[in-house]
């Protein structure tokens, strides 16, 4: 029986999912805190969750430990069972926009594009190289978060800076979270029994963005040249006046790397609240700590401003507004107040439905009075990736 392994590597983690040939998820897990003093392996298999602390000094060692874990628990009995390993890649740069095979040339392209996704791409490349050593004969594919946004028009993807410089350095909006946007769009086509669709999707997690979708294709999205742009996030600032960067450098005696690290890793909800990058931690203090309440107000305002902008961008009837990803799926307060901030349309959430977290893959949370239906759809980019991976070689043959 053919099996598919989906790998989603971050700066210090490898998230994995194993699917059978019927695309049913058989097991999943994550290796965390790679390159830190002590790592964590978490396994979710046979309705049991197992966690183990052990050193994971490199990505190669993490993959070796995953291999041992799979063998010890009988998850993969023989590596000939694995027909394909599919890797999620945040940004393949200007030359890698479509699903492709792992080969030396494409790895070289990824290495050239590290600056475009400095938090994610280094770990992804290390994970790919590790799996090349562990499973050299297994087919491998790359799947890009930027692919879904290839349909964005020139007016939307162009920055108003010197054209010669833009052309030379490929300076443009790429957009991210595309694998999940693609999944959610297809899911909404099933839910509404209609295609194509006009949607605004809010992918609100630690990293967060919005996407305007016309005729089931991306026409604009809030992240840009890198995932730093757009709305405020867990640790990322989102949109700021770029003049802040040299100003901070001058007055705080910081270099450009220090400032960019601050904007990517120490800003957003963490930077404003001084509490946490996790909305759950900030919610716990919302009623007693004015700064926690202010952080959520600022966060929600940034989201709702993009929401009304993208609702206005769509030509014709809008089929739905959709919340997805960790915060979007689980935080009723942020969903409710994001919608309440919209004044130009009559949008209304049913507060009882909105607070009820007992739902399956999706749920309608708007009232009958709402001009546009509002849904929650659980993110599942791994399922989209494995379908894409299976189709890639089928279509080539």
| Residue 396: partners with Cβ closer than 8 Å, 6 or more residues away | none
Taking the C-alpha atoms of residue 218 and residue 131, their distance in angstroms, rounded to an integer, is: 32
Q: What confidence score (pLDDT) does residue 397 get? A: 57
Contact 300, 323 (CB under 8 A): no
Contact 5, 86 (CB under 8 A): yes
Alpha helices in the chain (DSSP H): 59-72, 104-112, 121-134, 154-157, 163-169, 178-192, 244-252, 256-265, 268-273, 279-284, 290-313, 325-330, 332-340, 351-355, 381-396
Asked whether residue 68 carries a pLDDT value surpassing 80, the answer given is yes
Q: What confidence score (pLDDT) does residue 63 get? A: 84
Q: Is 83 exposed, middle or buried (0-12, 13-18, 19+ CB in 10 A)?
A: middle
Most confident of 10-24, 127-141, 329-343: 329-343
Q: Is the dihedral of CA 109, 114, 115, 116 positive or negative?
A: positive
The mean pLDDT of 38-46, rounded to a whole number, is: 89
Q: What confidence score (pLDDT) does residue 97 get? A: 87
Could you tell me the pLDDT band of residue 32, with boundaries at 50, 70 and 90? Answer: confident
Could you tell me the pLDDT band of residue 122, with boundaries at 50, 70 and 90? Answer: confident
Taking the C-alpha atoms of residue 257 and residue 284, their distance in angstroms, rounded to an integer, is: 33
Asked whether residue 42 carries a pLDDT value surpassing 60, the answer given is yes
Token couple for 155: 């007016």
Domains, the chain, with CATH or none:
3-144 (3.30.420.40), 194-381 (3.30.420.40)
How much is the mean pLDDT over the chain? 92
Residues 355-395 have pLDDT tens digits of 998 899 999 999 999 999 999 999 999 999 999 998 887 76
Q: What confidence score (pLDDT) does residue 58 get? A: 85
Residues 131-181 have pLDDT tens digits of 898 888 899 999 999 999 999 999 999 999 999 999 999 899 999 999 999
The mean pLDDT of 206-211, rounded to a whole number, is: 94
Q: Report, as residue numbers or ranges, the catalytic residues.
A: 145
Its pTM stands at 0.91
Q: Is 140 exposed, middle or buried (0-12, 13-18, 19+ CB in 10 A)?
A: buried
Contact 108, 129 (CB under 8 A): no
């Amino acid at each position: 029986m053919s099996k598919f392994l989906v790998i989603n590597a971050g700066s210090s983690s490898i998230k994995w999912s194993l699917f059978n040939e019927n695309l049913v998820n058989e097991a999943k897990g994550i290796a965390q805190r790679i390159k830190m003093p002590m790592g964590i392996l978490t396994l979710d298999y046979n309705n049991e969750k197992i966690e183990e602390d052990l050193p994971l000094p490199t990505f190669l060692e993490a993959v070796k430990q995953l291999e041992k874990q799979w063998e010890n628990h009988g998850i993969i009995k023989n590596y000939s069972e694995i027909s394909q390993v599919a890797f999620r890649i945040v940004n393949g740069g200007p030359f890698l926009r479509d699903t492709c095979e792992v080969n030396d040339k494409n790895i070289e392209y990824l290495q050239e594009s590290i600056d475009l996704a400095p938090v994610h791409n280094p770990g992804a490349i290390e994970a790919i190289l590790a799996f090349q050593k562990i499973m050299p004969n297994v087919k491998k594919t790359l799947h890009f978060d930027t692919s879904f946004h290839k349909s964005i028009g020139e007016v939307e993807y162009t920055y108003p800076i010197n054209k010669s410089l833009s052309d030379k350095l490929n300076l443009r909006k790429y957009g991210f979270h595309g694998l999940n946007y693609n999944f959610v769009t297809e899911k909404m086509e099933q839910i509404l029994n209609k295609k194509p669709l006009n949607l605004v999707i809010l992918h609100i997690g630690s990293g967060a963005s919005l996407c305007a979708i016309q005729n089931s294709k991306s026409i604009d999205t809030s992240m840009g040249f890198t995932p730093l742009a757009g709305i405020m996030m867990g640790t990322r600032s989102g949109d700021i006046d770029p003049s802040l960067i040299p100003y901070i450098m001058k007055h705080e005696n910081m270099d450009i790397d220090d400032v960019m690290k601050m904007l990517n890793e120490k800003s957003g909800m963490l930077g404003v609240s001084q509490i946490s990058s996790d909305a759950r931690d900030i919610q716990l203090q919302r009623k007693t700590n004015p700064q926690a309440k202010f952080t959520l107000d600022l966060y929600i305002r940034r989201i709702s401003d993009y929401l009304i902008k993208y609702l206005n961008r769509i030509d014709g009837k809008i089929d739905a507004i959709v919340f997805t990803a960790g915060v979007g799926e689980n935080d009723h307060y942020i969903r409710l107040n994001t919608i309440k901030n919209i004044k130009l349309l009559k949008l209304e959430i049913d507060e009882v439905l909105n607070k009820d977290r007992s739902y399956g893959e999706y749920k309608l949370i708007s009232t009958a009075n709402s001009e546009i239906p509002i849904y929650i759809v659980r993110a599942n980019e791994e399922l989209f990736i494995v379908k894409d991976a299976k189709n890639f070689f089928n279509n080539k043959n």
